[in-house]
Amino acid sequence: MKTNVKKLATMGVLAALSIALMIWIKFPIIPAAPYLIYEPADVPILIGTFLFGPLSGLMIMVIVAGIQALMSPDGVIGFIMHVAATGAFVIVAGLIYRKFHDRKGAIVGLICGTLAMTLIMVPVNLIIQPNFYGVPLETVKSLLIPAIIPFNLIKAGLNSVVTFIVYKSISKVVHKI
């Protein structure tokens, strides 16, 4: 029982930290698409994934995406895009790290998760942008190579690097408590 309370409390703290990072740190990284905003909210979600597994990471992500949807003008559409992007990242990185629970497994998981997020966001953008934001399909297609794909690679890549750097020390603290 004590372990479940500790796990839920830690997941709650990670979700809160994710939301705080989403609010406090955000900036555009692709000049061709200034609406694509980097924020490091996935870092605590990935830490939760590595600590407790992909299902727990998905639970943290859904809570964060739901709160983000309530705070953002993108609402439900933003929720769907967040779930698709971070969900792909969490599932792939979490499953690989669970199978290969070492430094190399973390690196491979984060790289594969980055690629999964980037790949899933191609069809998601091709569907969402024209159907819900009214952006012509040809415009979305023309932005794939110069903006959408690089943005997702950079965002997920930065979040992977930060996760890799801070995970071990956070993991030690969580396991000591």
Could you tell me the CATH number of the domain that includes residue 81? 1.10.1760.20
Q: Which domain holds residue 75?
A: 2-26+40-176
Q: Read off the pLDDT of residues 22-80 as tens digits, 9 standing for 90 and up.
A: 999 999 999 888 989 999 999 999 999 999 999 999 999 999 999 999 998 889 999 99
In a domain, 144, yes or no: yes
CA quadruple 103, 104, 105, 109: dihedral positive or negative?
A: positive
In a domain, 33, yes or no: no
In a domain, 84, yes or no: yes
Write the CB contacts of 45 (distance below 8 Å, at least 6 apart in sequence).
14, 15, 18, 57, 60, 61, 64, 86, 90
In a domain, 34, yes or no: no
Q: H or E segment at 170? A: helix 149-176
Q: Read off the pLDDT of residues 85-141 as tens digits, 9 standing for 90 and up.
A: 999 999 999 999 999 999 999 999 999 999 999 999 999 999 999 999 999 999 999
Four-CA torsion 87, 50, 47, 8, nearest 10 degrees = 90
Number of domains composing the chain: 1
